[in-house]
Chains A and B, each alone.
Chain A
Amino acid sequence: MGWQPARLAHRRVETPTAQTLVLQVPGWAAHLPGQHVDIRLTASDGYQAARSYSLAAPADGERIEVTVQRVPDGEVSPFLLEGYREGDPVEVRGPIGGWFVWRPTESDPVLLVAGGSGVVPLMAMIRARRTAGNRAPFRLIYSVRTPSDVFYNEELRHRVRDDAGLDVAYVYTREAPEGWRGEPHRVGLADVTTHGWPPDLEPLVYVCGPTGFVEAVSDLLVGLGHPPGRVRTERFGPTG
């Protein structure tokens, strides 16, 4: 799998520290929701830096989307958010990954559990479900620090209304919005039992977020009786 050229078509602001970049990739092959792509930047002196980003949506022809969260003091993400201009080239390699994927031909109930920017590949699953007209019942538990850190806020609100069979529950860890029941907290047993699927429905479970989050949530789910083989995880680390 080689590097291929791509250009920034446009960008959407998601939060004060995150943006979705829409890249035009000539000859892009289709991908599955959950897969990621490597983006490589080359400086004029030949220096290169590459980072991996989850694809945020099904491909729209030759257009792909990634959502980039700014990593403080990062080498790549601040440039992508602040220095990278529309029309400028980068190189991409992908799609990558055959494990943390959801196939739109599946009909089992799906539980998605997102920690922070771990929502990106899960959003790709939610979008692909709608695009494919798939009726599998989907639930998303989205753990986020504050209401202003929510990615795809408007779209998720519309989808909950329009995409039959999709439920979204938010868990705020630092600061909750007015009217949210309960105190800010980390995802716990009550959240998973209230907003998830019971193990006897044999759902497919996808957990994505920082390592500690994924560890805690997958332990909870396996403890509830979800078979470890049905709980797919993707951890990400700070790679700037």
Chain B
Amino acid sequence: MTELPYLDGNMLDGPLGEVFAIDLSTATGRCAHCGTAGPVAGLRVYSQAPGLVARCPTCVEVMMRMVRAPDRAWLDLRGTTYLRFPMPLDRPPGG
């Protein structure tokens, strides 16, 4: 009996790089289900499926789903309360 392998969140960079102009694997995401915050690169990504399903490594609930049609892409983030990105410090906050 084989358990289907999952991949690491860093594999999301390619598919999501088509949507975002930012390197998602360096972002932090917070799971809407259990509240754990961690690197997107550390999510468990199931890719042998009709779309990509990224699950929280702590509670295994779905945090992100992405479906790519030839001419459209869907990104479902309802399982993620936030994504936090490192930003270049080029301007003081509120300045």
Contacts and interface: CB of A to CB of B under 8 A. Distances in A.
A3 to B, nearest CB: 10
Dominant secondary structure of chain A at its interface with chain B: strand
Contact of A235 (B5, B14, B25, B26): B5
A120 to B, nearest CB: 14
Contacts of B25: 97-99
User: Which range holds the interface residue count of chain A?
Assistant: 20 to 34
A38 to B, nearest CB: 5
A208 to B, nearest CB: 10
Given A99-B26, A99-B41, A235 B17 contact: no
A211 B14 contact: no
Given A97-B13, A97-B25, A237-B48, A211 B7 contact: yes
Given A98-B23, A99-B39, A99-B41, A237 B10 contact: no
Interface in A191-240: 210-212, 232-237, 239
Contacts of A96: 13-14, 17
A1 B7 contact: no
Interface in B1-19: 5-11, 13-14, 17-18
A98 B48 contact: no
Nearest to B4: A237
Contacts of A99: 8-10, 25-26, 39, 41
Contacts of B17: 1, 93, 96
B5 A237 contact: yes
Contacts of B7: 211, 235-237
Contact of B47 (A210, A233, A239): A239
A52 B14 contact: yes
Interface of A: 1, 36, 38, 52, 93-94, 96-100, 210-212, 232-237, 239
A210 B8 CA distance: 11
6 contacts: A94-B14, A99-B9, A99-B39, A234-B10, A235-B6, A235-B7
Contacts of B23: 97-98
Given A52-B11, A97-B25, A239-B47, 16 more contacts: A1-B17, A1-B18, A93-B17, A97-B10, A97-B23, A98-B13, A98-B41, A99-B10, A99-B26, A99-B41, A211-B5, A235-B7, A235-B8, A237-B5, A237-B7, A237-B48
A232 B42 CA distance: 9
Interface string B40-56: 01000001100000000
B6 A211 contact: yes
Nearest to A38: B14
A48 B18 CA distance: 16
A188 B9 CA distance: 26
